[in-house]
Structure 1
């Protein structure tokens, strides 16, 4: 193999890697969510955890989401496993959907140690930009199988408002 071939292959690799990294950064940036331990999070004490990379004050997780649009509505789905519907607070303000919640740690009923603790626990906030005006007062939310689904009927452009949405 000649030096020119190596350069060409390296250039192709770097271009592919850069393109993939840019795409990942662009598509996942909104999904990367910070979790902050609160009073109700109930994390184990630091001496109960052997995982040297666990820092509860710096927990981040991906809350993957989808936004679907048709002529009548927007549907926002956010993957948030390990929670209950009561753990969510949803608000619509102008062209943004705000989802807040708290994921609580569940202790094992036996004695032992945590060897690895990779899940994020604590309170979080996720903002989802809405591509069209919606009638927030008619929004409906449900939580099943670890997925929060919010149905938002569209409305004509006008004055933005703020509405709280109950999760069924």
Structure 2
């Protein structure tokens, strides 16, 4: 193989590796990518949101962020875990609709009390909602949710399964 063919082959392999990595990242993050819209200020002190801060022209606030999650299933229940740091348990609203868990919330902006300006702004603030498809029907009456160390954990008991029964075929 001549030098140019080796170079071309190496470049094709590198490009394929980057493309595969990007595809995997996109596929894994697709469901977790969540839009944060304008929220409502909790008080006059919070009224100065990131969008109205003087440095917002230089460092605009992020409007998309990852709310990564896992769905675990066993014979009796589904457990959904969503990583949502920087919130309080009262910031969430949970609902199950047609085998989809809807997680709504709001991450409020808290301005630093010191003088200065932002050099990096990657955090998203505002209201959000995330729809997580559930692999089986659940009983919402027995659902439990906890929020600790930035992780929202929702335990959903599975709906009673229809019993399987063999049907004999009669003659005539």
Q: TM-score range by the shorter chain?
A: 0.7 to 0.9
Gaps of 5+ in 1: 159-168
CA distance in structure 2 between the partners assigned to 1:122 and 1:79 by the alignment: 16
Paired residues in the alignment total 156
| Residue in structure 1 matched with residue 109 of structure 2 by the alignment | 105
Using the TM superposition, give the Cα deviation of residue 108 of structure 1 relative to its aligned residue in structure 2, in angstroms. Answer: 2.7
| Residue in structure 1 matched with residue 41 of structure 2 by the alignment | 40
Using the TM superposition, give the Cα deviation of residue 19 of structure 1 relative to its aligned residue in structure 2, in angstroms. Answer: 1.5
| Residue in structure 2 matched with residue 161 of structure 1 by the alignment | none
Gaps of 5+ in 2: 163-172
CA distance in structure 1 between the partners assigned to 2:11 and 2:117 by the alignment: 46
Aligned counterparts, 1:69-88, within 5 A? 69-88=73-92
| Residue in structure 2 matched with residue 49 of structure 1 by the alignment | 55
Question: What SS is found at the alignment partner of 1:131?
Answer: coil
Pair 115,18 (structure 1): closer, same or farther in 2 beyond 3 Å: closer
Whether contact under 8 Å (2:84, 2:151) holds in the other structure is yes
Q: Which has the larger radius of gyration?
A: 2
How high is the TM-score relative to the length of structure 2? 0.81
CA distance in structure 1 between the partners assigned to 2:18 and 2:51 by the alignment: 40
Pair 17,110 (structure 1): closer, same or farther in 2 beyond 3 Å: closer
Question: What SS is found at the alignment partner of 2:79?
Answer: strand
Query: Which digits, 9 at most, give the CA deviation of each residue in 1:99-149, with x for residues without a partner?
Result: 000000112334443343321100000011111111111111000001100
Using the TM superposition, give the Cα deviation of residue 44 of structure 1 relative to its aligned residue in structure 2, in angstroms. Answer: 4.0
How high is the TM-score relative to the length of structure 1? 0.83
CA distance in structure 2 between the partners assigned to 1:156 and 1:150 by the alignment: 19
Using the TM superposition, give the Cα deviation of residue 26 of structure 1 relative to its aligned residue in structure 2, in angstroms. Answer: 1.1
